[in-house]
A and B are shown apart, each in its own frame.
Chain A
């Protein structure tokens, strides 16, 4: 069975500092990896995905993520955090091939402190 782990329930970072939100995964075969952001009482917004190719993936709002196959990780990063980045972030994985189910991590609340 596939799974996603987000080890931190909450990450606090000062505005302007770099941020990292951690994610590790387990899946059979090649992974398709995603990051989504959720604001209060809203649906999920797509940030970025890794399917194949370069391990460093750039996405929306200045976010990027690095795929590390040996460590089965897909950490979300941003060089300089904004207060408006404060939200709930979900990492997700699905296996390749067909319409496979997406498995979500438990989410990490990012709090950017002014």
Chain B
């Protein structure tokens, strides 16, 4: 079945540094990937839609200069949290849709802690 690999699964970084999270579709091509953020005891909040070869579409209230998304190939999308601050600490999850399939496949998530 369709598998999405997300790396790293957890990361701790110092305030002010940048962190890159990778999302790969392992056995299919994903022209569209999605990035979500999940706060403790809350639902998933869609941050942006990543489209291969074009600029990402950000949801209202999401800082595009802070959360840089690159989707340079059909199998890889990256989310870079720039100049991270403690309030950016969260669980980030990517997902991809396999063309012709109605559901979404999710990565295993990345726990980001900014100290």
Q: Contact residues of A with B, CB < 8 Å?
A: 32, 34, 36, 41-46, 49, 51, 90, 99, 101-102, 104-107
Contact = CB atoms under 8 A, between A and B. Distances in A.
A44 B93 contact: yes
B59 to A, nearest CB: 9
Contacts of A102: 34, 46, 104
Main secondary structure of the interface of B (DSSP, over half): strand
Interface of B: 6, 9-10, 32, 34, 42-44, 46, 49, 91, 93, 95, 97, 102-109, 111
Contacts of B102: 32, 49, 51
A43 B49 contact: no
Nearest to B38: A38
Nearest to A109: B41
Contacts of B107: 43
Nearest to B110: A43
A41 B111 contact: yes
Given A41-B111, A43-B6, A99-B32, A36 B106 contact: yes
Given A41-B111, A105-B43, A99 B97 contact: yes
B44 A45 contact: no
Contacts of B105: 46
Contact of A107 (B34, B43, B109): B43
Given A41-B111, A46-B103, A101 B49 contact: yes
Contact of A44 (B9, B42, B106): B106
A43 B108 contact: yes
A51 B100 CA distance: 12
B103 A42 contact: no
Given A43-B93, A43-B109, A44-B93, A104 B43 contact: yes
